[in-house]
Amino acid sequence: MPHVGAVSRFFRPGASVLLGIVGALAPRRVPRIGPPSSVSSILVLRVDERVGNVLLTTPLLTRLVERFPEAKVRWLVARSKRGLVEGLFDTIPFEKKDFFRRPWRFLAQLWALRRARYDVAIDASHWHSFSATSALLLGLIGAKIRIAHDRGAARLVATDLVPVPEPSAREPEIQSKLRLLSPLGIEAGQPRMVTAAGQSAESKRDIDAWLSAQALSDVPLLALSPGGRKEAHRMPRALFTEIAGLGRALGATPIVLWGPGEEALAGTLAEEAGAKLAPATDLDGLAALMRRCRAVVVNDTGPMHLSVALGTPTIALFAQPAEWRWGHHYAPHTMIAGAGREQREILAEVDTALRRLLC
């Protein structure tokens, strides 16, 4: 079965040709001065399946709903991650793999989206990496106003191009997303990530049962998340062991979180640090457990964005020098740059943050 990224790889060799054809089929740009006078329907395209990328798009949706309260604002979102935002926004589940598995369903959904005749469609994929899939969707849906970052072949299908940030600007990712609203005359504002994860009755019941069995129901919990999809984004396990000691000295009980493929790493850390190993959970269960924690210490990963979106005080450790872009720089969260620094320096910053959160 093709990988989920196969759709983009399938289109890549002839992407410019395909996008040119789709662009020719899309409605012509209507000349206008300034933002549109009225908007009744908006579709945001963000079909990436990574947790962080979904959550980083939520401020864009929040701002659209605030600015156009009477409009139909919808989000084409990856089916597997719909639960992260279900109930918060009007979502349309999208499955990339249907292109191969159920092509009739894939084409039927495209036709339904095109027939909806949206006033505005926004390609909210990352500015640093052109997505042929998102660009093709943008053109095929055929909204009157089609907004995208100015990169790759986006100009073949978009009516409004938003400049990508200058490398020296060090612009946070959320602000880059919010600049996609400028063709609509909307100021960025300061909306933050939100999520509905961790609220289901089943997840709450399971986590409450585990906490009760571990005699942890009424104690402050410090969650440690040492994993990460990219190993280059992981800080050393020894650092998390030291952080567990800092938390214990401040009266918190450390627990170690883990996801698919991380159980061995988490188990070793729990043993070394004298911490509790969290149970196996799905994404909703992980969120439910994070909601019960006093603080979460985590690498630059999807769970970092999840913890912040939940409102749980988060201490994020960045092994790569990108905290300015991917971090969330507002209280009660702390973003710590770790690249090229000694462990004692990082621990001192973590200790300061933990004292503020646990004391």
Distance separating the N- and C-terminal Cα atoms of the chain: 52
Asked whether 143 and 128 are in contact (CB, 8 A), the reply is no
Per-block mean pLDDT, blocks of 10 residues, the chain (359 long): 41 55 61 76 96 98 96 97 96 88 88 96 93 91 95 91 91 96 94 97 97 97 95 95 98 97 97 97 97 98 97 97 94 95 96 96
> Residue 1 has what pLDDT?
31
For 6-184, the fitting CATH number among 3.90.730.10, 3.40.50.2000, 3.40.50.150, 3.40.190.10 is 3.40.50.2000
Cβ neighbours of residue 95 under 8 Å, at least 6 residues apart?
78, 79, 106
Task: Provide CATH 3.40.50.2000 ranges for the chain.
Answer: 6-184, 201-358
Of 245, 246, 258, 255, nearest to 220 by C-alpha is 255
Strands 221-225 and 314-318: unpaired
Chain CA centroid to CA 274, Å: 32
Q: Which one is the CATH code of 201-358: 3.40.50.720, 2.60.40.1930, 1.20.1250.20, 3.40.50.2000? A: 3.40.50.2000
Nearest to 227 by CA among 267, 194, 173, 196: 267
Alpha carbons 145 and 135: distance in angstroms, whole number: 13
Q: Alpha-carbon distance 54 to 58, whole Å?
A: 7
Strand pairing category for 253-256 and 221-225: parallel
- The distance of Cα 261 from the centroid of its chain, to the nearest Å, equals 20
pLDDT value of residue 10:
42
Query: Residue 3: its pLDDT value, please?
Result: 37
The pTM assigned to this predicted structure is 0.91
Of all residues in the chain, what percent are helix, strand and coil, respectively (each to 5)? 45, 15, 40
